[in-house]
Amino acid sequence: MSYRIPDALIAKENARLTTAQDEDYAALGRRLERAGADIESITAKVAAFAVAVPTWGVGTGGTRFARFPGLGEPRGIFDKLEDCATIHQLTRATPACSPHFPWDKVDDYRELAERAAALGVGFDAVNSNTFQDAVGQKLSYKFGSLAHEQKAVRDQAVAHNLECIEIGRKLGSKALTVWIADGSNFPGQSNLNRVFDLYLESMAEIYAQLPNDWRVFIEHKLYEPAFYSTVISDWGSSLMAAQALGPKAHCLVDLGHHAPSVNVEQIVARLIRAGRLAGFHFNDSKYGDDDLDTGSIDPFRLFLVFNELVGASARGAPGFDPAYMLDQSHNVTDPIESLMASAMETQRAYAQALIVDRDALASAQAGNDVMLAHGILKAGFVADVTPILAEARRRNGGAIDPIAVYRVSNYRKIKATERPAVAGSSSGIV
Ligand code: LRH
Ligand code: MN
């Protein structure tokens, strides 16, 4: 039987922190009450908030230059599920994971579904992969996949996506995320208009096979691995495609997929207005698609994104049902610690956005009182909501301090004895 952190250890560690937590929570409650906010309703919302963990994120990540595997690396999807379950056991914020195929391919998906259920982990959107050539694959994706000039390659890519839908149905997933690397490195290499038509043609075949209660998430990305043009490079191309395909097609925002200084929260506002916001791949970045821990570089941007989400929910925006997922690469930290911290940072941005006095903000905006409006919004961001996040975890049976419990448990060292080191790739994101 592989090691699981005993719940008794969580209870023991929580007992050590309870007095301080109670004091801090009560003090924050009084402060928020003075500002007209009810801490209990915010804590209840945070306790119900969930963000999915990427299965490809629980192993050590790398770059094109190198990958330095850590101790107790997951050897496959069953180990990855264990680590996802540990993240949820301590944070109570990540009840589902988002798998990636063929990286998570197995022979028996019923066995996988049963193991996940036994670990208390569900499956969010499944991710297809036509940006690498899988072992035994007939035709290469070197020059593209769903938008490839050759029909046979497009058909192969469509077939892979249909296979992902079949796998997702067996796992209880309700969405397919399609990110393609298709693009060009030289002006003239591809016809910028024709490749979009080819993409739509292929996506229409995938769309036609979507179960009624499923959605397809189109993920845009400005560049990489293509360095001159990318077929679905921005939210405009993604929205054009979603509107051309039909109501089950939505636009997924990976925070790292934009040029530096792009106003991502405004893109979110536009996609919400169009009723096509699929959801997110949360991470952080300073330069490109750095896939750093969420909230680690620009927590204010994350807050501004959640401010749009809370605003949309408050006004009952039509078709507003975003899926929240992390998408990160952990090259120098323990992936479990990074994913726990990142899940908590998404909760933090959510709680901060819930504190914003929306009525006061609306009247300050209506009156063009710039400093007052900015101040009202900023008041949410500067509030230390740590006691709310800890209280939500404690009430859900999690740890007041997940990383402290994880370290006291020696989980990683124990996994290193259970999981003999496997030769991983010497470079690349997984
Ligand atoms: C592309 C991306 C996509 C995943 C991959 C692992 O950069 O964000 O969402 O398929 O990372
Ligand atoms: Mn992504």
* Residues 30-48 pLDDT 10s: 999 999 999 999 999 999 9
281 CA from centroid of ligand 2 (Å):
5
Pocket test for ligand 1, best of 53, 55, 131, 179 (most atoms within 8 A of CB): 179
Q: What is the mean pLDDT of residues 157-181?
A: 98
- Categorize the per-residue pLDDT at 422 as very low, low, confident or very high, splitting at 50, 70 and 90: low
pLDDT in tens, 97-129: 999 999 999 999 999 999 999 999 999 999 999
Give the Cα separation of 207 and 158 in Å (integer). Answer: 10
Give the model's pLDDT for residue 420: 83
- Categorize the per-residue pLDDT at 425 as very low, low, confident or very high, splitting at 50, 70 and 90: low
How far is residue 271 from each of residues 128, 169, 350, 391, measured CA to CA in Å? Answer: 23, 27, 19, 33
Pocket test for ligand 1, best of 327, 328, 425 (most atoms within 8 A of CB): 327
Residues that place a CB less than 5 A from ion ligand 2: 254, 281, 327
pTM of the model: 0.97
291 CA from centroid of ligand 1 (Å):
9
Which residue from 361, 354, 353 is spatially nearest to 304, judged by alpha carbons?
Answer: 353
The region of weakest confidence among 392-396, 407-411, 426-430 is 426-430
Contact by Cβ (8 Å): 293, 331? no
- Categorize the per-residue pLDDT at 319 as very low, low, confident or very high, splitting at 50, 70 and 90: very high
219 CA from centroid of ligand 1 (Å):
8
The answer, yes or no, to whether any atom of ligand 1 lies below 6 A from the CB of 250, is: no
Give the model's pLDDT for residue 424: 60
The answer, yes or no, to whether any atom of ligand 1 lies below 6 A from the CB of 280, is: no
- Categorize the per-residue pLDDT at 328 as very low, low, confident or very high, splitting at 50, 70 and 90: very high
Give the model's pLDDT for residue 423: 65
pLDDT in tens, 361-389: 999 999 999 999 999 999 999 999 999 99
Give the Cα separation of 193 and 328 in Å (integer). Answer: 32
For ligand 1, atom 2: residue with the closest CA: 179
Q: What is the mean pLDDT of residues 309-329?
A: 98
